[in-house]
Amino acid sequence: MMWMRQFSEVDVNLRHTCEQGDRLQGYGWLMHDGLSFGVQEIHDSDFTLTTEFVKRMGGEHGGDWTWRITAKQHSSAPHAPVISLMFYAAADTQGSLEAHVEERNRLGSITGFSEELGNFKITFRKPVAGESSSAKYASYNYLQTLSPGLERLTDIVRNSLNRRFVYSPPSGEKRQYIAVDTYKPPHQPKPADLRKESDFVLHQVTVQMPFQIEVLFESGSFRNRPNQLSAAVMTEELEERKAAFDAKFEKTFGLQAKGLGHAQVKFSKAALSNMLGGMGYFYGQSVVQSVYNEYPLLYPEGALFTAVPSRSFFPRGFLWDEGFHQLLLSKWDPQVTREVTAHWLDLVNMEGWIPREQILGDEARSKVPAEFVVQRNENANPPTLFLALQKLVEQLQANPDAESSRPTLPFLRRLYPRLQTWFEWYNTTQTGPLPNSYRWRGRDKDTNLFLNPKTLTSGLDDYPRASHPSAEERHVDLHCWMALASGIMARVARLLGEPHEEYERTHQTLSDNALLDELHWSDQLRSFSDYGNHTQAVSLQQEKVYVPPGQPRHQFPVARLVRSVRRAPKSQFVNALGYISLFPFLLHVLTPDSPKLEHIFRDMRDVDKLWTPYGLRSLSRADPLYMKRNTEHDAPYWRGPIWININYLAVRALHHYGNTEGPYQEKAAALYQELRTNIMNNVYRQYAETGYIWEQYNDSTGSGQGSHPFTGWSALTVLIMAEQY
């Protein structure tokens, strides 16, 4: 669906793909079961669109669905807005669509065929005045054309608009409005688009609020349909699904039983639902640079069913985000987690590598800056899918006969060969200079422009590491991820009756607190740290540009900010207290009696270091790189702001140590209550104030910032509220 407002000051405010630049007051799924129904609210300037759908199984192609859109103006609107809704169907290199036009310009229905859907019919009902089902005056237009790719649809519509149409309601003045006419390709000479063109059909209905419209999708192989899924039948089905959703939500998360208020429960449902509603099926080819090739190559075509971090800003799959997403979704529907995990592991190559960012298909690629498109096959990303597998294994062992976990064992058996290959890839390609040490590959090479060369592969992009990247680095977070992964490999192997001793040995070695101290504990800094070629004496300075006397300045390059190093680097522990320092605690590698916990808890609770009233900040306020830009154009990202995924791990770890016998048990339990309360209150408060869940939160004010809506890992707030770890 696209929509636009008629008769407004703005010339053409066409809304289509989720864009932060549209500045909507909030949008997202309030309810979505991931399978058969959903309710979404979209708040535009002075009206709200509610989109609801229900699916009904039947036939061999997934059955029927109906989509209902309800438009209501806000009480603040001076007069009822007139808007155009544009419903479209587009084929994507396969299948065909046929438009059926009734009385002059009204597209009554589209019939079509595709391999996966068989024959189908899409019917556009006429708008009615809300629930009363009395007909409304509307103007109709349609467009029937071809498109070379889904990412071109918005432009095609923009280039088809014309003002020559007249909106003349029975009780009002005639006014010209904007509508689709014939597509006129722009004239500028562009390289020819050689892709196969596919059918694109669009139905535009222009109507004054309030109104309601239904769109019916009927599958050709659904033979004995009891009735049409519309009007009262649709309403009844919706009400049933809503009641079932509410009951399942309370049974799964128990928030009302915990005494949380109605508004907080509604927020939690929205967080889960928008993650489910943001799931996508992607198909296409990654662009990969391998050490064996001179230039990047297209990978074979692949499919990916996955959740996404943000519908507006990151509408694609990210490897380390997905493990966090599945922590939440595995509680709701383990079958979703099994399917998603299988899709991700199907993307493994023969070496055991999975590209960390999945940019599959032209539509996905159109949303990615060019420099991020190429994936390099020596680069990793935290193997967080092991967190999700751990959940599936726990569910299976706790309740082996439950219907929801019974498919897990055969699933793990099918997955296991790929899982072994994936684990082995990490364990051989990401090793460090010393035995049992590890090092992220893929740090930025240019040490001249970056204050601290980024390590995108670690997930914590600009978090400070050794100032001068080298092969002698050891990374403490990766060490802990490998301790976690080897332990889960051993557990899965044991479950399947496969040899597990090697994984068990690796797990015991990496979990050995004495080894961890030796590789990563700095007595001087009193914290766990990376090790490498490092100096603290760095800053960004204006580059000196030599201009010969008598020459005009503007003919010479603009002075850039470049890094100045005031003291030579040496091999040492890296003094950057923050999320990385917490990893031995975050992933439960420390034994409950480890004296290091005392230091970690002290640093965590120190307001001059990591503690804020809104959650733990990513980098200590006392750190020299706290909130420092990394280049002229690169604002601080993991250098202070609060991130919910790591805060979730911190709350989970405090819960673990607070419920385990040991000298720090009471301290952990007290910190747990404080931190849990701070995070859930702030994420909820920001949602109530802004209409969004955010990518990160400001460590001084708690304000949401970065991309939004971000119902990727920020939705883990639901598990924090439910105290499910």
As a whole number, mean pLDDT of residues 608-635 equals 96
As a whole number, mean pLDDT of residues 378-407 equals 96
428, two tokens: 């051989």
Extended strands (E) in 285-424 = 287-289, 297-298, 302-306, 317-318, 357-358, 374-376
The C-alpha atoms of residue 682 and residue 110 are separated, in whole angstroms, by 47
Per-residue pLDDT reduced to its tens digit, 573-606: 999 999 999 999 999 999 999 999 999 999 999 9
The sign one gets for the Cα dihedral 13, 16, 21, 25 is: positive
Pairing of strands 175-180, 198-208: unpaired
Distance of CA 419 to the CA centre of its chain: 23
pLDDT-based confidence at 390, cuts 50/70/90? very high
pLDDT of 179 over the 80 cut: yes
Largest pairwise CA distance in the chain: 89
The C-alpha atoms of residue 18 and residue 410 are separated, in whole angstroms, by 38
- In the three-class reduction of DSSP (H, G, I as helix; E, B as strand; rest coil), residue 162 is classed as strand
Per-residue pLDDT reduced to its tens digit, 215-229: 999 999 999 999 999
What type of residue is 454?
A: K
Mark whether 461 is an active-site residue: yes
- In the three-class reduction of DSSP (H, G, I as helix; E, B as strand; rest coil), residue 107 is classed as strand
Mark whether 632 is an active-site residue: no
Q: 535: closest CA among 476, 575, 577, 562? A: 575
Domain spans of the chain, in order of start: 2-151+195-253, 577-724
pLDDT of 507 over the 80 cut: yes
pLDDT-based confidence at 75, cuts 50/70/90? confident
pLDDT of 532 over the 80 cut: yes
CB atoms within 10 A of CB 123: 18
pLDDT of 496 over the 70 cut: yes
More confident of the two residues 195 and 274: 274
pLDDT-based confidence at 189, cuts 50/70/90? low
The C-alpha atoms of residue 427 and residue 186 are separated, in whole angstroms, by 52
pLDDT of 445 over the 90 cut: no
Cα separations (Å) of 662 from 592, 598, 723? 5, 12, 21
- What mean pLDDT, rounded, does the chain reach? 95
CB atoms within 10 A of CB 661: 7
Query: Per residue in 457-484, is it b (16+ CB within 10 Å) or e — as a string?
Result: bbbbebbbbbbbbeeebbbbbbbbbbbb
Q: 682: closest CA among 703, 651, 708, 652? A: 703
pLDDT of residue 122: 98
Q: What is the CA radius of gyration of the chain?
A: 28
Catalytic residue among 151, 346, 362, 461: 461
As a whole number, mean pLDDT of residues 371-379 equals 93
pLDDT of 625 over the 90 cut: yes
Helix/strand/coil percent split, the chain, to 5: 35, 25, 45
The C-alpha atoms of residue 668 and residue 341 are separated, in whole angstroms, by 33
As a whole number, mean pLDDT of residues 659-688 equals 98
Pairing of strands 374-376, 287-289: parallel
Per-residue pLDDT reduced to its tens digit, 538-576: 999 998 888 888 888 777 778 888 999 999 999 999 999
Per-residue pLDDT reduced to its tens digit, 84-138: 999 999 999 889 999 999 988 999 999 999 999 999 999 999 999 976 678 899 9
Reported CATH class of domain 2-151+195-253:
mainly beta
pLDDT of residue 186: 74
DSSP string, 270-289: HHHHHHHHT-EEEEE--EEE
More confident of the two residues 79 and 394: 394
As a whole number, mean pLDDT of residues 420-446 equals 96
pLDDT-based confidence at 506, cuts 50/70/90? very high
Percentage of residues in the chain having pLDDT higher than 90 = 90
pLDDT of 347 over the 70 cut: yes
pLDDT of 683 over the 80 cut: yes
pLDDT of residue 553: 76
Q: Say which residues have a Cβ less than 8 Å from residue 603's Cβ, sequence separation at least 6.
A: 527, 577, 581, 609, 610, 620
- In the three-class reduction of DSSP (H, G, I as helix; E, B as strand; rest coil), residue 673 is classed as helix
pLDDT of 187 over the 80 cut: no
pLDDT of residue 78: 79
As a whole number, mean pLDDT of residues 274-293 equals 95
pLDDT of residue 188: 65
Per-residue pLDDT reduced to its tens digit, 39-71: 999 999 899 999 999 999 999 999 999 999 999
User: Residues in the chain, how many?
Assistant: 725
pLDDT of residue 12: 82
pLDDT of 364 over the 90 cut: yes
For residue 579, the surrounding DSSP H or E stretch is none
The C-alpha atoms of residue 276 and residue 280 are separated, in whole angstroms, by 9
274, two tokens: 């928008």
Pairing of strands 161-167, 374-376: unpaired
- In the three-class reduction of DSSP (H, G, I as helix; E, B as strand; rest coil), residue 648 is classed as helix
Q: Which residue carries 């544009």 as its tokens? A: 86
Q: Which residue carries 């009615």 as its tokens? A: 128
| Helix pair 644-658, 319-332: axis angle to 10 deg | 60
Q: Which residue carries 């990394």 as its tokens? A: 630
pLDDT of residue 146: 95
As a whole number, mean pLDDT of residues 486-512 equals 98
pLDDT of residue 666: 98
The C-alpha atoms of residue 198 and residue 61 are separated, in whole angstroms, by 21
pLDDT of residue 194: 82
Catalytic residue among 64, 199, 695, 699: 695
pLDDT of residue 182: 87
